[in-house]
Amino acid sequence: MLIRRLAHSLRQVAELQPQPAVSTVDTDMEAEVVSSVETEELVRAWEEEQRRAAQRLAELRAAREAELEAQRREQERLAKEQVRARACVHQRAT
């Protein structure tokens, strides 16, 4: 008999393999204790939180990069406009 998973309290058997029931009176027992159901739920919740945080960070990074690119384009536009304005002033002076 193999007890595959025990709940955190060790009083509730979550799964038995290969038989659906067991008698433990005067029985030697071997058990493979794995993470509790509660721990697995906490890990899943933490992993989901990490995934959402990473997604939000990627969104913020993309928005910041777009903002910086827009600022760079605006600076280029203003620089070109300034060059044209100087050229016009220079043409009028001559």
How do residues 42-56 score in pLDDT, each as one tens digit? 999 999 999 999 999
Look at residue 15 in the predicted model and tell me its pLDDT.
66
Q: How far apart are CA 12 and CA 65, in angstroms?
A: 52
Give the three-state DSSP class for 28.
coil
Q: Which residue has the higher pLDDT, 22 or 47?
A: 47
Average confidence score pLDDT of the chain: 80
Alpha-carbon distance of 43 to 34, in angstroms, equals: 13
| Per-residue model confidence as pLDDT tens digits over 58-74 | 999 999 999 999 999 99
- Note the pLDDT of residue 7: 41
Pairwise pLDDT comparison (83 vs 32), residue with the higher score: 83
Going from N- to C-terminal start, the domains of the chain cover 2-22+29-93
Res. 4: pLDDT tops 80: no
